[in-house]
Structure 1
Amino acid sequence: MNQPYPLISCLCVTSNRSEQLEKAIICFATQNYPNKELVISYPKNDLNSKQVVERMKKDNTIRIMLVERAVDESLGNARNHLIAKCSGDYVCMWDDDDWYHPSRLTYQFNSMQIVGQRYQASVLHRILLYDTTTKKAYYSFPYTWDGTILCRKEILLQNQYANANRGEDTHVITFLSGRKLLYRIEDAPFLYVYIYHGANTWNYKHFENFMDKSELLDEELTNSIVKMINS
């Protein structure tokens, strides 16, 4: 008999961003999905990240696995190694510099079940954007936000991420879309805040392109988002 809530492994590839990593771990710990683990990859010379994880692992209610990697390993390969090592039936990307609503895992998983068993993955089609340099927030345009993917593990074992630091997930999304296995969630932008902080994988021009296509939010909504991500 299938478990009603199979194990979801949240995969986080981090590097020398210990303050942001701690917030990402807190976002994971507050998820209301009942069966989850967080698997974190860090470069072997990043002692601050290791210390943050070891400290937070003392809370035995948080299930965390720590995986050391070579300093020059690509983001794509780091993700592939985490997928191979994790225990989940499903995997969910968990970027260390974004913010996640406590219901993110539950909402994404349940959405896939409601619409039918043929879907093996889901992504958010609308999210929130926040630019820390301008203090402005946006409601995103419709887009397949690759970094929000939740997918059955066996699919990603057979269709690995590219050995690259950028665009490593493009062909994964293409594969899932082409076989109609990917469910796009249209109505839950509150689940995910994509944060530009100046040290993202992609540069500001990339983020600015997203903002130009998105809807600028008013001051009241922006303040509520800032309060949410800083809580």
Structure 2
Amino acid sequence: MKPTANRNTLLDNLFKRQRAAAPQKTPFVSVVCPTWNRREFLPYLLYIYQYQDYPADKRELILLDDSPESNQDLVDMMIDPALHNVRYIHSPERLPLGKKRNMLNELATGEYIISFDDDDYYPPEKISYQVAEMQGP
């Protein structure tokens, strides 16, 4: 075995251990969700968001709703106003889905943006898992 190859292996192992021991930072994450005429799904979505295991002070939920009627009352009823991490935006104009997603991405303030759909179930570790995957090894 060449001394250079052995040295590289030792350095590689050292760097791997340092990366493994280095604490991962907890970035701020924006969860974005377009919705339309899904009032009956919003309580489930808000419940799923509130019970994510990712730190509440490191995430925000931004809902963009272009339903004919605003659902602000429902959001206000479901969310603790002291948290300040849920933004509900109602657009009286019907918008294409792509435009809504682009608008949501522009409104997002997080280092990472994660999309939720209003009619899907997500396990409590959804945000944590996605952030860990995006941060890589």
Whether the 8 Å CA contact 1:13–1:42 is kept in 2: the answer is yes
Q: Which protein has the bigger helix share?
A: 2
Residue 40 of structure 2 corresponds to 19
Write out the 4+ residue segments of structure 1 that deviate beyond 6 Å after TM superposition.
Answer: none
2-side partners of 1:59 and 1:53: how far apart?
10
Q: Deviations over 1:201-225 (max 9, x none)?
A: xxxxxxxxxxxxxxxxxxxxxxxxx
2-side partners of 1:98 and 1:44: how far apart?
18
Whether the 8 Å CA contact 1:9–1:87 is kept in 2: the answer is yes
1-side partners of 2:117 and 2:67: how far apart?
19
For structure 1, the 5+ residue unaligned runs are 116-231
With normalisation by structure 1, the TM-score equals: 0.45
Identity %, equivalent residues: 29
Tell me by how many angstroms 1:20 deviates.
Answer: 0.8
RMSD of aligned alpha carbons: 1.8
Tell me by how many angstroms 1:68 deviates.
Answer: 2.1
2-side partners of 1:56 and 1:62: how far apart?
13
For structure 2, the 5+ residue unaligned runs are 1-23
Report matched runs for 1:20-169 at 5 Å.
20-34=41-55, 35-43=58-66, 45-47=68-70, 49-61=71-83, 63-115=85-137
Tell me by how many angstroms 1:108 deviates.
Answer: 1.4
- Report which structure shows greater RCO (CA 8 Å, sep ≥6): 2
Tell me by how many angstroms 1:70 deviates.
Answer: 4.1
Aligned length: 112
Over alpha carbons, which structure has the higher Rg? 2
With normalisation by structure 2, the TM-score equals: 0.73
2-side partners of 1:85 and 1:14: how far apart?
15
Q: Which protein has the bigger strand share?
A: 1
Whether the 8 Å CA contact 1:44–1:69 is kept in 2: the answer is yes
